[in-house]
Amino acid sequence: MTSLDNSVRELDLSREPGKPPIATAPAVADLDEAARWVADALPAIRAELLRSGCLMLRGLPVTGNEAFAAIRDVLFPKLASYKEKATPRSDFGGGVFSSTDLPAVQPIRLHNENSYTLDFPGALLFGCLVAPEEGGATTVGDMRRVLALLPEDLRARCEEAGWLLVRNFSEMAGLPWQTSFATEDKAVAEAYCDEHTIGYEWLDEDSLRTTQRRSAIVSHPVTGERVWFNHMAFWNSWTLDPDIRDVLVETYGADGLPFATYLGDGAPLTEEEAATLNAAYDEVTMRETYQVGDLLLVDNILCAHGREAFSGARKIVVGMGDPVELSDCAPTAQPSTTPYGA
């Protein structure tokens, strides 16, 4: 029996098809005792996270932001920042954020957090402070399996050329550049782009377009396993609801969408290719209904996450930790500001 197997046996684990593994904590008297249990179980928790890519901790007295932050600090020796912001979030202070402030009726497909940046959180922690009445699970999916499910020709093209992201920032479309780059100074935003291999073009006084090519396939820096790691299907126009896509294209033009993704050589994804990618995500999706106090750990490289639509009040907070450099993940395509071969 391996040391991994020995350590995993220390957790009271439940495994069911279609669900993330769930570790039930023993009864604890208070938050301090809960933090001590997490610290003692940390080797087993980390081992299971590397095995499964995600792990739900259930039964801990986590009902507020401060309690969530206290357990997060035990789990994550180093916090990670949220860069190049793409969706609205509430900042509760102390590195605790809302998981997203997008409308409840809008489901969010699986994605790896900040897959388009040069450094990103290696792990995420979601905490349920208010459970929704219906739906609202944080969905998860194994990106090792997605890579294996893809057709060889598409996988080979992406391995060589990576994927391309084009973003348009304006007052009308998506987040303003001031929010995404956390500055009001154009020169500071330009310096960030130069430092992080992002091409940029000012379309008018306050509208910005950026272009960045990234690796679509990376290897986990600890396990060495290859994974599908990108937002290519997530932000592709074929993934949008057809009515929404038509409105966006009519409003902004085909080249003015807030987010647009391409194969690394600049070729657009066909509708069939986008459907193939999304079918692979659907195949691996797991979910578990939230209970108050649930904590969901996600290895951000091995596992993608999303969100179901929901009804009723819902408060899910998130913390980000274990920052990782893209260069430490054996990217198959190097970062660039231009399409492959351009």
Amino acid at 114: N
Where do the structural domains in the chain lie, given as residue ranges?
11-341
Contacts of 231 (CB under 8 A, 6+ apart): 111, 112, 115, 116, 163, 165, 259, 261
Residue 8 is predicted with a pLDDT of 41
Q: Which two tokens stand for residue 13?
A: 């684990």
- Note the pLDDT of residue 245: 86
Per-residue pLDDT, 3? 39
Kindly give the parts of the chain with pLDDT less than 50.
1-9
Chain-centroid distance, C-alpha 217? 15
DSSP structure string for 35-92: HHHHHHHHHHHHHHHHHHSEEEEES----SHHHHHHHHHHH-SSB----S--S---EE
CA–CA–CA angle 234, 219, 157 (5° rounding): 60
What local confidence, expressed as pLDDT, does residue 311 receive? Answer: 96
Instruction: Read off the pTM.
Output: 0.94
Domain 11-341: which CATH class? alpha beta
Q: Tell me, what's the pLDDT at 173?
A: 67
